[in-house]
Structure formats: C-alpha cells, structure tokens
Amino acid sequence: MATKLGLFLIIYIFYSSFFSLALPADAPPGDIESWCSTTPHPEPCKFFMSHSSHHSAPTQRAGFRTMMVELAMERALHGQTQARQLGQRCRNKRKKAAWRDCLNLFDDTIFHLNRTLKGLQSNVSSDFDAQTWLSSALTSLDTCREVSLQLNVSDFISPLMSNNVSELISNSLAINGVLVQEEEYTDGFPSWVSDGERKLLQSSSLAARANVTVAKDGSGSFRTIQAAINAAAKTSGNERFIIYVKRGVYMENIEIGRNLNNIMLGLMALDSLLVALHFRNTAGPQGGQAVALRSASDLSVFYACSFEGYQDTLFVLSQRQFYKSCYIYGTIDFIFGNAAVVFQNCVIYVRKPLIGQANVITAQGRDDPFQNTGISIHNSRVHGGAGPQAGEGWLEWNNSAFALDTLYYGEYMNFGPGSSTANRVKWGGYQVITSANVAGQFTVGSFIGGRAWLPSTGVPFTAGL
C-alpha cells in the first residue's frame, strides 16, 4: 500500500467538560477565591494560594497567570525534594529505574516552569512560548506516571504524584490559554540563529566549519558521538557548536542534557538541528517497546533523517518539533508522544508485525485541553506491505470507548489507495475536514509557529497547506 496524505491530523485528547474563563484580561473578579473559581482545579488553587505568604489578589489575568506558575514551581520544588528522598526506599531494580526516570522528569518540569517564569518576567517570550513550555512541564509529570505504570510500581511512585503540581500547571495552562487567544503574531526571525547560519545546512563546507569531527576509524576528533557531545558541554559561549559525524554505524546510546544548547546535533537541548542522520533500534519485532529516538527539544529540526524500529520507534516527547523529508519505520505506535510536531514531505513505512499484532502509526498522549500539542502529518506518504484496504483507519485505545467523543482526529484531502473516508470510524471526535481554514490551524505556520523560527535554519518548508 502506498497512500499519499494531503494533511493527516491527530490532536488528542480534549476533556468532555469545559469550564469558563470568559473574564477579560483586565477585569479582575475581586479576590483570590474568585480568580481560582475560573480555573479547572479551583480547590488546589484556593488552598495553596491562601497558604502562600507572597501572593495577593491580582488585578489582571496576566498577573494571576504569573502567580499560578510561581505556585506550581513551589510545589514542584517540594516534589523534587520528595523524589530525592524516595531514592532511599528503592528495594528492587524496577523501583530504582522508575525513581531515576521520575527524578529526571521532575527536573524537566522545574526547568520548563523556570523558563516560563523568566520569559514572562522579562517579556522576552510570547504567550505561545509559555503555552509550549507549560505543556512540556505537564508532559514530564505525565511521563513519570506512565513509567511507574509500565514498571508496575505506581504505588511506590504515587506520593510524588499527589502534591498537586499537575493541577496547578493545568490551571496555568488554562489561564495562559486565554491570553494566547488574545495574542497577535507577526513573522520574524529568532535570536537563536544568527544571520550567518541561514544557509548553513545547504553549505558544502559544513565539515570544514565543524568544531569537532566524529569518525569511527579514528580519523576525527572523537570516535563516538557521545564523546563529542561531552566535549561540547565543556565549552563556553553562545555560538553554535557544530558536530560533524562521518559516515558509519555508531552503536551507542546518546544522551544530551537539557542545559546543552546551540549544538548542531541535539535531542534534549534547545534549538537543535539534525541533518542526514539515521537512528536505528536493533531490538527487533520481539523486543517490545524499543525507541530509536526520544526528542524533547524545543524548536528542533530533523531534516533528511531516518528512524528505524518496530514498536515505539520515534518518541516525540514534548515541545515544538519539525521533521522534513524524513523516513520513519515501525509497527505499533511508532510515532508517539505529546509534542507539537509537524511531519512534512516524509515517508512512513508500516513494517510487518508479529502474528496477532495490529499496526498503529501514531499514538498521541495529550490529556489536558489547554496543551497546544498534537501530531500533524502533511503532504507525506504511508507505505505498507499488506495492500490497500478500505478500513476504518483508526483504532480504539485498548479496545475501549475511552475519549472517543473528546479526542480530535482529522483528515483533509487525502488521496491514493486507502485514503477513502467512506468507511471510517463513527466516533464523535473524528472529523473529515472540508474547510481549508480549519485544516490551516495544523500547518507549520500556525501549529508550531514555523514562520518565526524555521526560515533562518535554511531547511525548506511550506508554511501553509
């Protein structure tokens, strides 16, 4: 089967009941209790606001937003302390593995909350930026919860999840979401890429301009990619650190810390550019969940890369990501996560699964109505070996009716074998999009604000439909 997709969208999940945030930004409701009543989780808001020594009733919604993010930060720092203390109680490998992941994820949450606060207090970031970072802060906590469930140690980890950080971040998202709707956007260029880098990706002298070279045969600065990344961590300054990787197969697990920024090979860092790399997980179809790449990098670009695996190949964990002219191979949920991500002009290969398994291309993890996240696949091809089928196209989560009316799954102008929507699912949340204006909300320009940061990278892209 080879199916051409005009624009294939997955935005998941909206709650079935919504709350009112209809007050104008400059019309205060009066006191803290009244402000808290406009949030999705009013009781934690009232309790922690009343027990915080430096919070008084705000006069504007923007001030209330900052106070709520500060409160979420206070509770997150408290949770981080709990997480560190919990390490003393690890009695087996599963508990220790979950604890290590959750401790790192709590650090991620604090990092994103701190980034949000700094941006709001200095007025150097937009409300759209804040919504992205708050979404990522919440996603990190949700990921901790999922890890504990997968390792069957949720009872052990549950004390970390009962400190109301998630509810306070959710409140922050809701408050900021109203301000996002009021924000006006203008096209421009970001500060994180200099004018001299505009055509860097198209340059034939990339190797000569690299800070270090990785070569498995010993002809470069380092033999492993991780060694080059470790060298980058020891440098100072704000210039982009370019790592040139010579052709070869590098069998290693690569980890890039959240504070290692401005490198031209980045996964967890900010503002990363990856070009012509192949990521492969060799666990095979029997290996179960086996990620080839996990990315939580904001404003990240993957150009002409490939990702090869079976189950859970590409983990688009969080923040704004763009994949251009890439190849993705897998079987079950092989594009998954809670980023705001657009795949453009990509090729998606559905591999032969094990007997009894069903192929599922995407699994999006959004669970808060104000997270600005989702998976958008634009002008791409889906290939499979089973031949074209006129099937339902979508699959329930664990064969249940969970969220079928509150999710948003949409298709717009698909064509090719298997693209007919005549026999699609009849769920309340599934949409055959007929309006270009509606479909336009999920394009590079609108969904990830690509006009403001992609032009300077030199990567070709289409901003609209």
What pLDDT, on a 0 to 100 scale, did the predictor assign at position 399?
82
* Per-residue model confidence as pLDDT tens digits over 299-343: 889 999 999 999 999 999 999 999 999 999 999 999 999 999 999
Count Cβ atoms below 10 Å from residue 41 Cβ, excluding itself: 17
3-state helix, strand, coil in the chain (%, to 5): 35, 20, 45
- Residue 77 near residue 184 (C-beta atoms within 8 A): no
State whether CATH 3.40.50.1980 applies to domain 32-182.
no
Indicate if the pLDDT at residue 347 is higher than 90: yes
**Residue 337: which residues within 8 A CB-CB, separation 6 or more?**
314, 315, 316, 317, 318, 364, 365
**Residue 236: which residues within 8 A CB-CB, separation 6 or more?**
none
Structure confidence at residue 117 as a pLDDT band (50, 70, 90): very high
Greatest mean pLDDT among 116-120, 289-293, 416-420 lies in 116-120
Instruction: Say which DSSP state 198 is in.
Output: T
Q: Which of 14-28, 129-143, 284-298 bottoms out in mean pLDDT, i.e. has the lowest?
A: 14-28
295 forms bridges with which residues in the sheet?
316
* Per-residue model confidence as pLDDT tens digits over 407-463: 899 999 998 888 889 889 999 999 999 999 999 999 999 999 999 888 878 889 999
What pLDDT, on a 0 to 100 scale, did the predictor assign at position 190?
42
* Per-residue model confidence as pLDDT tens digits over 30-66: 678 888 888 999 999 999 988 877 667 788 888 899 9
- Dihedral angle of Cα 195, 199, 201, 207, to the nearest 10 degrees: -90
Catalytic positions: 333
Cα–Cα nearest to 127, from 52, 48, 181, 84? 181
% of the chain exceeding 70 in pLDDT:
82
383 forms bridges with which residues in the sheet?
2, 349
Cα–Cα nearest to 264, from 191, 337, 209, 195? 209
What are the structural domain ranges in the chain? Answer: 2-13+196-457, 32-182
Cα–Cα nearest to 49, from 38, 1, 21? 38
The CATH architecture that domain 2-13+196-457 belongs to is: 3 Solenoid (2.160)
pTM of the model: 0.81
Q: Which of 31-40, 156-165, 186-195 bottoms out in mean pLDDT, i.e. has the lowest?
A: 186-195
